[in-house]
Amino acid sequence: MNFAVFASGNGTNLQAIIDACRKKKIKGALKMVFSDKPDAFALTRARKAEVPCIAWIEPKAYKTREAFDKAVVKLLKAEGIDFVVLAGFMRILSSGFVRAYKNRILNIHPALLPAFKGVHSIKEAFEYGVKVAGVTVHIVDEEMDHGPIVVQAAVEVKTTDSLASLEGKIHEVEHRLYPQAVDLFARGKIKVVGRTVRVG
């Protein structure tokens, strides 16, 4: 299966996926890296890895989010993309996009959903005083950080942890977990039934 990675920033999860592809740990083919920002370092990572299609589209060139997403879907279809992997993509996808790739969009979130949704989840969990934080890979639906959960991993929060050390531990788990989830999806091992994801 051909997949695209969407990223808006540094692209560390993208790099983990690129490395896993290089080591043949992902059976799918990374055919596209897409960004909404021309200066995203993720695009530099993609060029270095010689990803076949490297693209960005300026959101401001479109009057609505829906129009922008329609252009992106058209590009994905033209490139034969089977599923999409969000890796630090800082735009909420429209309902039209989600419907076009229903149950074929993966996202990673640095918390144990449904707890601590949103952008500042690690900071919020740390300040709340949780003993266990973690990482969730889920299918994207039309609500933010809401879709069916594919896999989760817990991260212990120690009394000696700082926010920075916790962030480091969570990112380390992300970089291990996300390529595994992408591989499962690429090999057709993930089936979505309602809110249940069956793996295997």
Q: Kindly list the catalytic residues.
A: 109
What's 61's DSSP letter? G
What's 8's DSSP letter? S
Say which residues have a Cβ less than 8 Å from residue 140's Cβ, sequence separation at least 6. Answer: 86, 93, 98, 105, 106, 107, 147
Q: Compute φ and ψ for 47, nearest 5 degrees.
A: -65, -45
| Distance from C-alpha of 30 to C-alpha of 27, rounded to nearest angstrom | 10
Q: Which structure tokens are listed for 1?
A: 């299966």
Q: Are 183 and 26 in contact (CB under 8 A)?
A: yes
Say which residues have a Cβ less than 8 Å from residue 37's Cβ, sequence separation at least 6. Answer: 8, 9, 56
Nearest to 150 by CA among 113, 96, 99, 100: 113
